[in-house]
């Protein structure tokens, strides 16, 4: 294929899906349906597939926005003033929520939930694409438009979520009210925040670089650090948990920070090294080298922060403004420290860890992509 030749979904199939690196972000389906072409859908396993090949215009948009084709990578890097090793940022802080309701349900410090609630109530956004769980193991992407809905979505789930598909559906429904019971509510959704893994946020940034709908309504991105995702069925079925003498029913919460942490209902925490959870990771995640969510407005994780705190990497002007506003309104507060020097030590510790994990992930991706694993 020549350098500037437009790729179609057939090329995406060959380059990404058949190559085993599709992270099921849903971006390609979202773009195709938001542009009213509708040639794609997600199959029952969450992979994109043709609805009807005849509908494909070979416009190449799906291939261009895919986070794993890197077609517009240089453009996105330049927009975000990207620098190695973990992209541009202006500050890294450790913070936590001040809201007792958020403390109850948050994964780490509850900064994400409190920031989203703050942004919604201050009128900075009309809603936030987050994920909720009804059964504790599977989650659904939803557009939360109230404090209650954002609260309900708090906590992390390390499964797979086609967030962008959800955004695309909402956007398409905004123009076609068929599936919507509340037309007026949809009309207000012009400024959305999205919480997503690096592949999802990169997909959004690729769309924005190309000025493709529905990315125009996404005005704020919260990027999760991401070592890997796994399918919950693998985690529970593969003897992985039982080998550690844990009854799956006893698990209260899961989290990833420096390692994989299971908290049992008895209050006991079990730490499993990152290397050991590779066996239940999605194969595509092991070939992925995105860790620090380099193109988000803020990137967040537990890495480098103490219990009940969130590490926040502030990247864009908008990210800086929203965090400053949330701090000023006391929705969140910084980790306490005895002096400015101590604060600096915390900051450098967090940066070192983020860089270390980003490097570890890149090295792992090289090994798995080379086929030596």
Residue number of the CB atom closest to ligand FAD: 301
Q: Determine the interface stretch with ligand FAD among 29-37, 211-219, 241-249, 296-304 (rule: CB under 6 A).
A: 296-304
Q: What is d(CA 240, CA 263) in angstroms, rounded to the nearest whole number? A: 15
3-state secondary structure labels for all residues of the chain = CCCCCCCCHHHHHHHHHCCCCCCCCCHHHHHHHHCCCCCEEECCCCCEEECCHHHCCCCCHHHHHCCCCCCCHHHHHHHCCCCCCCCCCCEEEEEEECCHHHHHHCCCCCHHHHHHHHHHHCCCCCEEEEEEECCCCCEEEEEECCHHHHHHCCCCCCCCCCHHHHHHHHHHHHHCHHHCCCHHHHHHCCCEEEEECHHHHHHHHHHHHCCCCCHHHEEEEEEECCCCCECHHHHHHCCCCHHHCCCHHHEEEEEECCCEEEEECCCCEEEECHHHHHHHECHHHHCCCCCCCCCCCEEEECCCCCCCCEEEEECCHHHHHHHHHHHHCCCEEECCCCCHHHHHHHHHHHHHHHHHHHHHHHHHHHHHHCCCC
Binding residues for ligand SF4 restricted to 229-288, rule: CB under 6 A: 229, 284-285, 288
Instruction: Verify binding: residue 301, ligand FAD, rule CB under 6 A.
Output: yes
Residue 17 vs 125, nearer CB to ligand SF4: 17
Instruction: Verify binding: residue 119, ligand FAD, rule CB under 6 A.
Output: no
Report what 161 binds from ligand SF4, ligand FAD, none; CB cut-off 5-8 Å by kind: ligand FAD
Q: What is d(CA 10, CA 19) in angstroms, rounded to the nearest whole number? A: 12
Instruction: Verify binding: residue 365, ligand SF4, rule CB under 6 A.
Output: no
Encoded one letter per residue, x for contact with ligand FAD by CB under 6 A and - for no contact, window 239-278 reads ----------------xxx---------------------
Q: Determine the interface stretch with ligand SF4 among 31-39, 118-126, 145-153, 176-184 (rule: CB under 6 A).
A: 31-39
Compute the least distance from the CB of residue 249 to ligand FAD, in Å.
Answer: 21
Q: What is d(CA 286, CA 362) in angstroms, rounded to the nearest whole number? A: 10
Residue 366, both tokens: 């090289």
Answer for which of 48, 87, 110, 319 binds ligand FAD (CB under 6 A) is 110
Residue 229 vs 354, nearer CB to ligand SF4: 229
Residues for the chain: how many in total?
373
Compute the least distance from the CB of residue 231 to ligand FAD, in Å.
Answer: 11
Contacts of 218 (CB under 8 A, 6+ apart): 167, 192, 193, 194, 204, 208
Residue 10 vs 279, nearer CB to ligand FAD: 279
Answer for which of 29, 227, 241, 323 binds ligand FAD (CB under 6 A) is 227
Q: Determine the interface stretch with ligand SF4 among 19-27, 101-109, 134-142, 258-266 (rule: CB under 6 A).
A: 19-27
Q: Determine the interface stretch with ligand FAD among 1-9, 37-45, 154-162, 235-243 (rule: CB under 6 A).
A: 154-162
Q: What is d(CA 242, CA 267) in angstroms, rounded to the nearest whole number? A: 18
Residue 48 vs 110, nearer CB to ligand FAD: 110
Answer for which of 92, 119, 229, 288 binds ligand FAD (CB under 6 A) is 229
Compute the least distance from the CB of residue 337 to ligand SF4, in Å.
Answer: 31
Q: Determine the interface stretch with ligand SF4 among 50-58, 265-273, 325-333, 341-349 (rule: CB under 6 A).
A: 50-58
Residue 171 vs 225, nearer CB to ligand FAD: 225
Residues contributing to the site for ligand SF4 (CB under 6 A): 8-9, 12, 16-17, 22-28, 31-32, 37, 39-40, 48, 56-62, 66-68, 197-199, 203, 226, 228-229, 284-285, 288, 290
Residues contributing to the site for ligand FAD (CB under 6 A): 106-113, 130-131, 153-159, 161, 163, 195-197, 224-227, 229, 255-257, 300-303, 310
């Amino acid at each position: 294929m020549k350098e500037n030749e437009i790729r179609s979904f057939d090329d995406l199939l060959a380059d990404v899906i058949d190559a085993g690196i599709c992270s099921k972000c849903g971006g390609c389906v979202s773009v195709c349906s938001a542009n009213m072409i509708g040639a794609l859908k997600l199959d029952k396993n969450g992979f994109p597939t043709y609805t009807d090949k005849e509908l494909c215009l070979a416009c190449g948009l799906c291939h261009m926005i895919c986070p794993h084709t890197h077609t517009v990578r240089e453009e996105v890097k330049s927009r975000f003033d990207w620098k190695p090793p973990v992209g541009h940022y202006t500050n890294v802080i450790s913070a936590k929520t001040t809201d007792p309701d958020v403390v109850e349900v948050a994964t780490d410090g509850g900064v994400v939930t409190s920031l989203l609630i703050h942004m919604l109530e201050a009128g900075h956004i009309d809603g936030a694409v987050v994920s909720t769980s009804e059964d504790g193991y599977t989650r659904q992407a939803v557009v939360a438009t109230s404090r209650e809905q954002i609260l309900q979505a708090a906590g992390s789930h390390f499964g797979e979520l086609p967030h962008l598909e959800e955004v695309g559906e909402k956007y398409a429904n905004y123009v076609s009210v068929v599936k919507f019971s509340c037309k007026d509510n949809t009309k207000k959704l012009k400024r959305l925040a999205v919480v997503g893994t690096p592949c999802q946020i990169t997909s959004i940034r690729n769309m924005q670089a190309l000025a493709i709908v529905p990315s125009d309504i996404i005005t704020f991105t919260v990027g999760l650090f991401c070592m890997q995702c796994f399918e919950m069925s693998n985690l529970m079925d593969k003897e992985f948990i039982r080998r550690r003498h844990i009854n799956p029913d006893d698990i209260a919460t899961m989290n990833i920070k420096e390692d994989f942490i299971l908290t049992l209902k008895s209050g006991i925490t079990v730490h499993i090294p990152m290397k050991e959870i590779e066996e239940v990771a999605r194969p595509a995640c092991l070939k992925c080298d995105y860790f620090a969510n380099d193109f988000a407005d803020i990137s967040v994780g537990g890495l480098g922060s103490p219990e009940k705190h969130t590490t926040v990497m502030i990247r864009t002007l908008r990210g800086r403004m929203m965090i400053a506003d949330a701090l000023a309104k006391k929705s969140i507060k910084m980790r306490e420290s005895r002096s400015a020097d101590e604060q600096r030590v915390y900051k450098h510790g967090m940066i070192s860890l983020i860089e270390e994990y980003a490097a570890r992930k890149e090295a792992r991706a090289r090994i798995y992509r080379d086929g030596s694993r």
